[in-house]
């Protein structure tokens, strides 16, 4: 656990620091934790240096720069927490996908430049631009990382250092020499990255870092056309980005972005500044007059005068040439006055008018055109063109720049940001900010834009803010366990949830119609999600044991055996001989009652009325108990059939 908040998951690697994938236990999200060891020999300066880096990192908020989420420090480490970017480094992407299609390579290059430009506008240089520090997320958007090692330039706009900070394969000559660096240092490294992006290989390689650094300082860039066919415009951009002298490179990333946007129209091979200097040196040497320096040879003694014959020839030959060409003698002595047409390109109109006046020339027709590379109210071109010999008093037509042609803003509302992000990024806005908000629209839908459609704008000077839908806002689900189902159903459906009854069960503790359980029963969920309920049927119905006591009558008459005697026989009479006894027994048998058949039918939980529950014979009235099992809310019944006739029938309620 780091800083009592970040639980380390695994080690990712690191250069100037140790980098880990971690879990933010407070916000429940994955982050990248960068631990920078404190310099114990100079603790105070180390902390101050880290503080400057942190300040420079926090102010960078751009779609093409990895976001910093948190900072902290301890006695042992400085802590920098950033977002997780799931995707390969540009180094890995080049390795796995070479050759990369030109359009894709240009798209990646522009996004890299937009991220660098945002940092430069904040006064920060990266000084370690390389494919290993450029990530591609799952939507193939560029994210530049490791701006944490950059230093703020708010005071000097330049940094002097004796330490080489960049990786040697992408290091600028001034870094390799330990000299001061500025925005053009990042532009050099970008040029090396662009070379590798297009060719799949590095321009300079060697056995040691020192040998590679020396090549950056002294050797010309190899010809990329030896490795891949690339439009001349892109070749030119690489060569200008990687000029040895920073002052010969593009000054700002905006210049590089503009050049990439026009690379298809730039098919004239680029001439390196060193080659231009060599050409100028040769021309100067060829026309240098002898007296411009210290005389040599015989001239070091005394000046020699030409002889008379030689002087004559020097005058005669030009004169004969004039005459042989049909020239008039007078014109040789009084020629028309001409001037060389001045070069007005990129001069302000006021300056051009002054130069015209000094050269006895007249301002002719002035037309206006948009030009991305020439400042407004400066001269784009002239007619006649510069260098042309023209007579004094000639009218010179001027084409004046209106500056960068404004872009007529498109309407991106209603579009999915992922579908149009490449088009938006290619417009070259100084920054494109994304603000998300919950909305009924599909996630990613552009809801509004800070620049209205049809507005004219110069993207390089403007920031575009897009409001993008996050989809429906998650709603907190309340646990309705124990609450009435109708209440839960009404409230949840009003929030946009679907409510289903997954089961109905008897429950001893939860009243009928109330909720036994709910799934899910907590958390935030999108409207339209289904909430399932188990609803109580109340207590399970009970059984009632009931005993119905009845008297079954004897319906048959007893048979008669003569007149009955009212008096009891005396003991003497009862003790008569056996003959008399036997006659009495016979008489008793003749007087026994006739049996009747009884059937009992029961309708309850356990019996069906159509089936005989009990049967027997009887010769006299008797008491009988009927056992009944009655379900809650139900009834039971019985009937007594004697000799086939229903004599008793009754229904018993619960």
Residue positions annotated with a catalytic role = 128
Q: Which conformational region is residue 586 in: left (phi greater than 0), alpha (psi within -120 to 50 degrees), or beta?
A: alpha
Residue 301 phi/psi, 5-degree rounding, is: -85, -95
Q: Whose CA is closest to 169, among 203, 199, 145, 200?
A: 203
First to last CA, the chain: 68
d(Cα 211, Cα 205) in Å, to the nearest integer? 8
Q: Which 3 state secondary structure label does DSSP give 348?
A: strand
Query: What string of DSSP letters covers 275-316?
Result: HHHHHHHHHHHHH--GGGS---GGGGSSPPPPPHHHHHHHHH
Is the distance from CB of 266 to CB of 232 less than 8 angstroms?
yes
d(Cα 37, Cα 240) in Å, to the nearest integer? 38
Residues facing 379 on adjacent strands: 400
Q: At what angle do helices 183-199 and 90-97 cross, to 10 degrees?
A: 20
Q: Which 3 state secondary structure label does DSSP give 575?
A: coil
Tokens of 125: 């240089």
Q: Where are the beta strands (DSSP E) in 506-654?
A: 515-519, 524-525, 530-536, 543-552, 596-603, 612-618, 622-631, 635-642, 645-653
In order of 151, 253, 487, 523, 622, the CA distances from 40 in angstroms are 21, 38, 65, 46, 111
Residues facing 500 on adjacent strands: 532
The number of C-alpha atoms within 13 Å of 116 and in the hemisphere containing its C-beta is: 30
Q: Which 3 state secondary structure label does DSSP give 274?
A: helix
Under DSSP, the state recorded for 619 is S
Tokens of 639: 């009937």
Tokens of 226: 């030896």
d(Cα 270, Cα 249) in Å, to the nearest integer? 12
- In sequence order, the 6+-apart residues with CB closer than 8 A to the CB of 322 are 332
Is the distance from CB of 84 to CB of 145 less than 8 angstroms?
no
Q: Residue 80, Cα to own-chain centre: how many angstroms? A: 21
C-alpha radius of gyration, the chain, whole number: 54
């Amino acid at each position: 656990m780091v800083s009592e908040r970040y639980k380390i998951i695994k080690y990712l690697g690191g250069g100037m620091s140790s980098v880990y994938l971690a879990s933010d236990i407070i916000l429940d999200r994955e982050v990248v934790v960068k631990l920078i060891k404190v310099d114990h020999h100079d603790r105070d300066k180390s902390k101050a240096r880290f503080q400057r880096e942190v300040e420079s990192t926090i102010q960078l908020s751009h779609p093409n720069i990895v976001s910093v989420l948190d900072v902290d420090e301890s006695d042992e480490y400085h802590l920098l927490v950033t977002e997780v970017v799931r995707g390969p480094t540009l180094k890995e992407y080049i390795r796995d996908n070479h050759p990369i299609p030109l359009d894709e390579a240009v798209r990646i290059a522009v996004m890299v430049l937009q991220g660098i430009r945002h940092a430069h506008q904040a006064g920060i240089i990266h000084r370690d631009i390389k494919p290993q520090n450029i990530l591609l997320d799952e939507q193939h958007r560029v994210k530049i990382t490791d701006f944490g090692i950059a230093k703020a330039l708010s005071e000097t706009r330049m940094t002097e250092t004796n330490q080489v900070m960049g990786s040697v394969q992408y290091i600028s000559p001034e870094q390799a020499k330990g000299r001061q660096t500025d925005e053009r240092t990042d532009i050099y490294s970008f040029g090396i990255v662009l070379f590798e992006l297009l060719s799949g290989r590095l321009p300079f390689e060697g056995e040691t870092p020192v040998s590679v650094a020396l090549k950056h300082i002294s050797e010309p860039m190899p010809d990329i056309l030896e490795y891949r066919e690339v439009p001349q415009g892109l070749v030119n951009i690489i060569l200008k980005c990687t000029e040895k002298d920073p002052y010969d490179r593009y000054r700002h990333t905006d210049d590089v972005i503009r050049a990439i946007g026009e690379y298809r129209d730039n098919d004239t091979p680029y001439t390196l500044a060193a080659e231009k200097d060599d050409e100028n040196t040769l021309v100067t040497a060829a026309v240098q007059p002898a007296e411009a320096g210290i005389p040599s040879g015989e001239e070091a003694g005394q000046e020699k005068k030409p002889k008379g014959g030689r002087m004559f020839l020097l005058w005669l030959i030009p004169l004969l040439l004039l005459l042989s060409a049909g020239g008039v003698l007078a014109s040789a002595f009084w020629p028309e006055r001409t001037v060389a047409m001045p070069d007005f390109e990129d001069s302000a109109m006021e300056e051009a008018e002054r130069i015209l006046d000094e050269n006895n020339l007249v301002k002719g027709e002035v037309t206006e055109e948009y030009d991305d590379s020439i400042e407004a109210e400066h001269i784009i071109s002239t007619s006649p063109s510069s260098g042309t010999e023209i007579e004094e008093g000639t009218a010179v037509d001027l084409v004046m720049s209106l500056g960068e042609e404004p872009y007529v803003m498109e309407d991106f509302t209603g579009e999915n940001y992922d579908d149009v992000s490449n088009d938006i990024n290619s417009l070259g806005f100084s920054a494109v900010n994304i603000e998300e908000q919950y909305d009924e629209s599909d996630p990613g839908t552009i809801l509004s834009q800070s620049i209205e459609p049809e507005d004219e704008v110069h993207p390089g000077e403007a920031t575009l803010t897009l409001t993008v839908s996050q989809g429906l806002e998650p709603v907190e689900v309340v646990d309705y366990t124990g609450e009435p189902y109708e209440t839960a159903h009404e409230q949840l459906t009003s929030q946009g949830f679907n409510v289903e009854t997954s089961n109905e069960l008897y429950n001893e503790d939860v009243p009928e119609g109330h909720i036994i359980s709910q799934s899910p029963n907590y958390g935030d969920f999108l409207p339209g999600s289904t909430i399932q309920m188990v609803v109580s049927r109340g207590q399970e119905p009970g059984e009632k044991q009931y005993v119905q006591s009845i008297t079954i009558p004897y319906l048959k008459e007893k048979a008669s055996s003569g007149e009955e005697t009212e008096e009891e026989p005396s003991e003497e009479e009862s003790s008569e001989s056996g003959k008399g006894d036997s006659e009495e027994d016979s008489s008793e048998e003749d007087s026994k009652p006739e049996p009747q058949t009884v059937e009992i039918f029961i309708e309850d939980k356990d019996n069906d009325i159509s089936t005989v529950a009990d049967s027997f014979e009887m010769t006299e009235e008797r008491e009988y108990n009927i056992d009944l099992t009655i379900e809650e809310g139900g009834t039971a019944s019985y009937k007594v059939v004697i000799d086939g006739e229903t004599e008793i029938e009754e229904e018993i309620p619960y």
